[in-house]
Amino acid sequence: MNDPRKFKAPYNPKERIWQEADRLRAAHPAGRELPVKVLDLAEFDLHLDLVPVNGLCEQLDIDALLMGDLKSILVDKRAVMSPRMEYRLRFSVAHEIGHLILHRDIYAGLKHATAAEWFDYISAIPEVEYGWVEWQAYEFAGRLLVPPEPLREAFQAAIQSAQAAGYSDWLAADEAALDYIATRIAPRFGVSSEVIAKRLRVEKLWPPA
Amino acid sequence: MFGEFIKQIRERQRLGLREFCLENGYDPSNWSKIEREVLPPPRDEETLRTWAKQLGLKPDSDDWLKFFDYAAVDSGRIPDYVLQDEKLVAQLPVFFRTISGQKPSREDLEKLVELIKSANRP
């Protein structure tokens, strides 16, 4: 077993993460619809079992997690059942797919003999490396669920509609304007307005030229 | 046998676990346990008929007959109550995203082991 204190997150620049997300979306019909049918992608194309459990969110503040055997995703039962939590569940599952695609080698390289060994290993991974791995999966999920071209189109349409309603000055680069635009766009992609606001910045659409 | 079969039926129709359970009012944890064969199928004929119809099976078709045959075989099966340690350890996750962005504590990890066990317990 490697020394977890020396654990290094794999080098995955944004461009590579985007490429992987785009490739996965393009490879399956569930990925070519909007909103991307991410639960179908997980269950039927990647053959991952979705395993709902009680209390994952309530007790651990977690919506979903990829199991170490890479065969299933544990999901919070309440998130599965509540229509109000659908966007969050979709994003969480996309995030776990990100781990599957980007971090498969890490999972394959870890073999724990006991749960105690696993505790020790996870606990000793440096926070900064852990955070970097999580960022990669987060970026993957955003790109998977919010393809750039439809985002650009939806953004242009939302800007035009806001301008037609007389908001042109207000649109300069105000945070409230970003929120307004993101909220209008979000349902098309089945994600929260926070995810859209983040994608607009990452894809360099915001602030508008 | 039965669990795997009904999962295949769902897969063939690309009928998601969430969608299926929401539409038919089933508890997705229990349905998943039946598909993973942690729980046996019901013995009650009426319940099985309802399930078969909800899964889109046509009466007297090959799949309909298989559905009832597999249910009959598996309904007497006593599921494995204890998740073997070796299997549990293989399932333990590596990275998980807490909503508040925190790395889980040791106490969290212990709770997580219990939740994983509960997902594999009837």
The mean pLDDT of A111-137, rounded to a whole number, is 88
Going by pLDDT thresholds of 50, 70 and 90, the confidence category of residue B79 is low
pLDDT tens column, B93-107: 988 767 777 778 888
Q: Is the pLDDT of residue B64 over 90?
A: yes
Q: Are B35 and B7 in contact (CB under 8 A)?
A: yes
Residue type, A172: A
Which residues between 173 and 192 in chain A have a beta carbon less than 8 angstroms from any beta carbon of chain B?
none
Q: How crowded is residue A94: how many other Cβ atoms within 10 Å of its Cβ?
A: 28
Please report which confidence band the pLDDT of residue A41 belongs to, taking 50, 70 and 90 as the band edges.
very high
The predicted pLDDT at position A192 comes to 97
B29 pLDDT higher than 90: yes
User: What CA–CA distance (Å, rounded) separates B96 from B116?
Assistant: 14
Give chain B's contact residues with A (Cβ, < 8 Å). 11, 14, 16-19, 21-22, 27-29, 32, 35-36, 85, 88-104, 106, 108-113, 115-116, 118-119
- Which structure tokens are listed for B37? 């064969």
Residue B117 has pLDDT above 80, yes or no: yes
Write a three-state SS string for A135-150: HHHHHHHHHHHCCHHH
**B3-16 confidence digits (pLDDT tens):** 999 999 999 999 99
Note whether A92 contacts B97, CB cutoff 8 Å. Answer: yes
* Residue-averaged pLDDT of chain A: 92
Complete DSSP assignment for chain A: ---GGG-------HHHHHHHHHHHHHHSGGGSSSS--HHHIIIIIS-PEEEEETTHHHHHSBSEEE-TTSSEEEEEHHHHH-GGGHHHHHHHHHHHHHHHHHSHHHHHH---SSHHHHHHHHHHS-HHHHHHHHHHHHHHHHHHHS-HHHHHHHHHHHHHHHHHTT-TTTTTT-HHHHHHHHHHHHHHHTS-HHHHHHHHHHTT-SS--
Picking from B39, B112, B117, B121 by the largest number of A CB atoms within 10 A of its own CB, the best residue to mutate is B112
Task: Average the pLDDT over A133-162 and give the result.
Answer: 95
Mutate to test the interface with B, among A8, A28, A43, A72 (most CBs of B within 10 A): A43
- Is it the case that residue B42 has pLDDT exceeding 90? yes
Residue A49 exposed, middle or buried by CB count within 10 Å (0-12, 13-18, 19+) = middle
* Residue entry with tokens 């129709």: B13
Is the separation of the CB atoms in B30 and B39 below 8 Å? yes
Q: At a CB cut-off of 8 Å and minimum separation 6, what does A122 contact?
A: A4, B94, B104, B109
Is residue A92 a contact partner of residue A64, using CB atoms and an 8 Å limit?
yes
Alpha carbons A152 and A1: distance in angstroms, whole number? 46
Report the pLDDT value the prediction gives residue A196, as an integer from 0 to 100: 98
- CB-CB contact of A55 with B115 (8 Å): yes
Q: What is the per-residue DSSP string for chain B? A: -HHHHHHHHHHHTT--HHHHHHHHT--HHHHHHHHTTSSPPP--HHHHHHHHHHTTPPTTSHHHHHHHHHHHHHTTPPP--S--HHHHHHH--S---BTT-PPPPHHHHHHHHHHHHHHT--
Residue A190 has pLDDT above 60, yes or no: yes
Report the DSSP beta bridge partners of residue A62. Answer: B98
Phi, psi of A165 (to 5 degrees): -85, 5
Q: How confident is the model at residue B58 (pLDDT cuts 50, 70, 90)?
A: very high
Contacts of B35 (CB under 8 A, 6+ apart): A49, B3, B4, B6, B7, B10
User: Taking residues A86-101, what's their average pLDDT?
Assistant: 97
Residue at B108: amino acid letter? D
Give me the interface pTM, i.e. the ipTM: 0.91
CB contact under 8 A, A138 and B118: no
Q: What is chain B's mean pLDDT, rounded?
A: 90
What's the whole-number mean pLDDT along residues A95-111? 92
What values do phi and psi take at A31, rounded to 5?
-90, -15
Unique residue bearing structure tokens 């395993």: A51
Q: Is A108 on the interface with B (CB under 8 A)?
A: no
